[in-house]
Chains A and B, each alone.
Chain A
Amino acid sequence: NAGVTQTPKFQVLKTGQSMTLQCAQDMNHNSMYWYRQDPGMGLRLIYYSASEGTTDKGEVPNGYNVSRLNKREFSLRLESAAPSQTSVYFCASSGLINQPQHFGDGTRLSIL
């Protein structure tokens, strides 16, 4: 009954370091998303994948890259971390683009 699983749950990086956030879903959903959540703001879309083999930019894609590895997995990569990328990152999935999204419990990322 896992739903959407994100790893790691917490991470501290130094400016300039790189890392990949992992996300996997076991609901056979077609669409997957990466959001960031900052204090006092709504979730903002970084990238999404409408279906396996496709990825598209969202509202705030700069400084990030994504890979839809297969139908289950969608990873987010920070190539050169910056303090402005300190945030909580959520992965979500849905059957189709306009259906309710199921969220993971987030990765709390701090960039020093």
Chain B
Amino acid sequence: KNQVEQSPQSLIILEGKNCTLQCNYTVSPFSNLRWYKQDTGRGPVSLTIMTFSENTKSNGRYTATLDADTKQSSLHITASQLSDSASYICVVSALSSASKIIFGSGTRLSIRP
């Protein structure tokens, strides 16, 4: 069964600290992995997308890594800011099929001043 599991479910850190969010998946055949940020009351916004051949991609203070062998990804946030408070969703896509775009349930990140 195609699944995407994220950990932790929620996380609280102090402003300025770094954090790492985890994503494990069993989606096959793998096409790409995306990280989205979802602010409260808004739709998800794409942060990064990685294909099989990419093992790291950055977007400002966000760095995503991918290990296709172990089927794991992480999202590292550096020097967190209050605006980073949001849910972060890992999404894994199988080859060319909308019905095989699998969303994780997200990690709820809260940044405290």
Distance (Å) between the CB of A48 and the closest chain B CB?
A: 4
Distance (Å) between the CB of B50 and the closest chain A CB?
A: 11
- In B42-81, which residues have CB < 8 Å from any A CB? 42-46, 49
Contact digits for B78-108, partner A, Cβ 8 Å, 1 yes 0 no: 0000000000010001011111011111100
- A103 (CB) vs chain B CBs: closest residue: B43
Distance (Å) between the CB of A59 and the closest chain B CB?
A: 7
Complex interface: chain B residues within 8 A of A50 (CB): 98
- A4 (CB) vs chain B CBs: closest residue: B43
CB contacts between A and B, total, < 8 Å: 57
Alpha-carbon distance between A97 and B97 when the two chains are bound, in angstroms:
7
Alpha-carbon distance between A44 and B2 when the two chains are bound, in angstroms:
13
Interface residues of B, count at CB 8 A: 24
Q: Which of A41, A59, A92, A102 contacts B99 (CB 8 A)?
A: A59
Given contacts A4-B43, A42-B104, A106-B43, contact A98 B95 (CB under 8 A): yes
Complex interface: chain B residues within 8 A of A59 (CB): 99
Contact digits for A42-72, partner B, Cβ 8 Å, 1 yes 0 no: 1111001010000011110000000000000
Contact digits for B24-55, partner A, Cβ 8 Å, 1 yes 0 no: 00000001101000000111111001000000
B interface vs A, CB < 8 Å?
Answer: 4, 31-32, 34, 41-46, 49, 89, 93, 95-99, 101-106
Provide 22 A-B residue pairs closer than 8 Å at the C-beta atoms, listed in order of the A residue. Answer: A4-B43, A42-B4, A42-B89, A43-B44, A43-B89, A45-B99, A45-B101, A48-B99, A58-B99, A59-B99, A90-B43, A92-B43, A97-B96, A98-B93, A98-B96, A100-B46, A100-B49, A101-B44, A101-B46, A103-B44, A105-B41, A106-B43
Sort A-B residue pairs by CB-CB distance and give the 4 closest, nearest first: A103-B43, A42-B103, A43-B103, A48-B98
A interface vs B, CB < 8 Å?
Answer: 4, 31, 33, 35, 40-45, 48, 50, 56-59, 90, 92, 97-98, 100-106
